[in-house]
Amino acid sequence: MKMYDVIIIGGGSAGLAAALEINKFRKSKILLLERDAELGGILLQCIHNGFGLKVFKEELTGPEYAERFIDELHEKGIEYKLNSMVIKLHPDKRVEYANIEEGFVTIQAKAVILTMGCYERSAGAIGLPGNRPSGVMTAGAAQKYLNIDGYLVGKNVFILGSGDIGLIMARRMILEGANVLGVAEILPFSGGLKRNIVQCLDDYDIPLYLSHTVTEIKGESKISSVVISKVKDFVPIPGTEIEFEVDALLLSVGLIPENGLSEACGIDMDSRTKGPIVNESYQTNIDGIFACGNVLHVHDLVDFVTEESRRAGQAVVKYLENQLEKSDNHIEMISKDGVSYIVPQQVNVNNINDKLELFLRVQKEYRDVNLVVRSNDTIIKTIRKKHMAPAEMEQIKLKVEDFDSVIGSISISVEERQ
């Protein structure tokens, strides 16, 4: 059986950044496994700009951002395999993959990094009513058809869900000559970035129907129209129906971390992030298995994925050098009022160099509030926030000294200003 120091599963922005970071700090035998025909992951189909402002201090398109990392990977001579799908991961860090040339192969690693990204929720996952005629698909699938294959999936399009992919696709389809009749969002606020509402919908006068959802899909073999209704507490209100004649309905109703491999391996999952529970070193409950990027929690900015994956790469270097302290004695991070999740979920202070970066999301839109970090009743840090929304990930930095007075757990909550 072939031996590696590190096997990385998934060659998107997370896998690329983790591989490069490990290589930078430690001469290691690294293998990156990617099931697609190219490295780069979801970035390759995101041809719009808006990537790289933090990492490169310039605004790039998805493919440009990916190519910079792929070029560096080539330059550094890091080994990777394409068209290679990982089918099983074992807790002892054996990895089984398959490709056409080699067939089924099992290899062994000292450390494994999970960077499988996420997938889009589909019609089945949200219990969409009505028929399932053709013409109903996820926004990401439509994006791939259009940007990679050059195939426009419809001329008259409606979009359910105001996630970023849906917003980006609304503009993209208009530019390619389709009519986008509207976007319906069941919540009273959009799930996408504000800049995307402005430059994808407002710029092209595409109506956004907040507190609306699709209540009927008509058509036999091919979709002919959709009916939307206003909702109150998620229940459609009779008499508010609007019908649109369409030949395509795109779904942009959320992303879910791709954790089939992780769950089958026995990795503990967080029911809120739908990703593995990790500690300050991005290590899961299984020794030597790490996770970062969208497989850990859904990110809206690739720059955050890159930074997180670099930190995970540094932790893996420490792990390989036996410098990560093993201990069950960790601090639990607890999401309190208004906070929906915090990553990492557990912290061993002895493994923090000088500071710890926490990511969290809030449950609804807030204005002029404080994010308060506490241990028991002691306030450790208060951060003033002018504006927060579920679509925007919040980042908090805690210094090692901040943990001096911490016992057992840390909680974070959204609080009114006094």
Ligand X SMILES: Cc1cc2nc3c(=O)[nH]c(=O)nc-3n(C[C@H](O)[C@H](O)[C@H](O)COP(=O)(O)OP(=O)(O)OC[C@H]3O[C@@H](n4cnc5c(N)ncnc54)[C@H](O)[C@@H]3O)c2cc1C
Which residues of this chain interact with ligand X, rule CB under 6 A?
A: 9-15, 33-36, 41-43, 46, 48, 50-51, 85-86, 115-117, 140, 164-165, 168, 258, 261, 293-294, 299-303, 305
Task: Quote the least distance from Cβ 380 to ligand X, whole Å.
Answer: 29
Does residue 194 touch other proteins according to CB under 8 A? yes
How far, in Å, are 108, 170, 247 from residue 221 at the CA level?
Answer: 48, 24, 11
Task: Quote the least distance from Cβ 62 to other proteins, whole Å.
Answer: 8
Which amino acid would we find at residue 62? G
User: Between residues 10 and 52, which has the closer beta carbon with respect to other proteins?
Assistant: 52
Task: Choose one: 108-116, 140-148, 234-242, 259-267; the region binding other proteins (CB under 8 A).
Answer: 140-148
Does residue 301 touch other proteins according to CB under 8 A? yes
Q: Measured on CA atoms in the order 238, 242, 247, 249, is the torsion positive or negative?
A: negative
- From other proteins, ligand X, none, interface partner of 12 (C-beta below 5 to 8 A by class): ligand X
Instruction: Report how far residue 275's alpha carbon sits from residue 296's, in angstroms, rounded to the nearest whole number.
Output: 4
User: Between residues 165 and 217, which has the closer beta carbon with respect to ligand X?
Assistant: 165
Q: How crowded is residue 268: how many other Cβ atoms within 10 Å of its Cβ?
A: 13
Task: Quote the least distance from Cβ 416 to ligand X, whole Å.
Answer: 31
- From ligand X, other proteins, none, interface partner of 413 (C-beta below 5 to 8 A by class): none
Q: How crowded is residue 92: how many other Cβ atoms within 10 Å of its Cβ?
A: 10
- From other proteins, ligand X, none, interface partner of 63 (C-beta below 5 to 8 A by class): other proteins
User: Between residues 193 and 410, which has the closer beta carbon with respect to ligand X?
Assistant: 193
User: Binding string, 163-182, against other proteins, x = CB under 8 A?
Assistant: ------------xx------
Does residue 392 touch other proteins according to CB under 8 A? yes
- From other proteins, ligand X, none, interface partner of 47 (C-beta below 5 to 8 A by class): other proteins
**DSSP secondary structure letters along 178-208:** -EEEEEEESSSS-SS-HHHIIIIIGGGT--E
Does residue 284 touch other proteins according to CB under 8 A? no
User: Between residues 67 and 72, which has the closer beta carbon with respect to other proteins?
Assistant: 67
Instruction: Report how far residue 142's alpha carbon sits from residue 151's, in angstroms, rounded to the nearest whole number.
Output: 8
Residue 155: which residues within 8 A CB-CB, separation 6 or more?
177, 178, 179, 247, 248
Contacts of range 221-224, beta carbons closer than 8 Å, 24 or more positions apart? 221/133, 221/134, 222/133, 222/134, 222/135, 222/247, 223/131, 223/133, 223/134, 223/135, 223/136, 223/247, 223/248, 223/249, 224/133
Task: Quote the least distance from Cβ 34 to ligand X, whole Å.
Answer: 5
Dihedral angle, C-alpha 387, 184, 149, 104, nearest 10 °: 80
Task: Quote the least distance from Cβ 15 to ligand X, whole Å.
Answer: 6
Task: Quote the least distance from Cβ 297 to other proteins, whole Å.
Answer: 17
Task: Choose one: 60-68, 179-187, 220-228, 312-320; the region binding other proteins (CB under 8 A).
Answer: 60-68
- From ligand X, other proteins, none, interface partner of 117 (C-beta below 5 to 8 A by class): ligand X
Q: Is 293 within 8 Å of 12 (Cβ atoms)?
A: yes
Q: Binding-site residue total for other proteins (CB under 8 A)? A: 34
Q: Is 412 within 8 Å of 373 (Cβ atoms)?
A: yes
Q: Is 217 within 8 Å of 226 (Cβ atoms)?
A: yes
Q: Would you state the structure tokens that stand for residue 6, as one six-digit string?
A: 């590190």
Instruction: Report how far residue 6's alpha carbon sits from residue 96's, in angstroms, rounded to the nearest whole number.
Output: 14
Task: Quote the least distance from Cβ 341 to ligand X, whole Å.
Answer: 16
User: Between residues 22 and 42, which has the closer beta carbon with respect to ligand X?
Assistant: 42
Phi-psi region of 386 (alpha: psi -120 to 50; beta: other; left: phi over 0): alpha
- From other proteins, ligand X, none, interface partner of 61 (C-beta below 5 to 8 A by class): other proteins
Task: Choose one: 116-124, 259-267, 349-357, 384-392; the region binding other proteins (CB under 8 A).
Answer: 384-392
Q: How crowded is residue 385: how many other Cβ atoms within 10 Å of its Cβ?
A: 15
List contacts with other proteins (CB under 8 A): 37-38, 44, 47-50, 53, 59-61, 63-64, 66-67, 146-150, 175-176, 193-195, 197-199, 203, 300-301, 386-387, 392
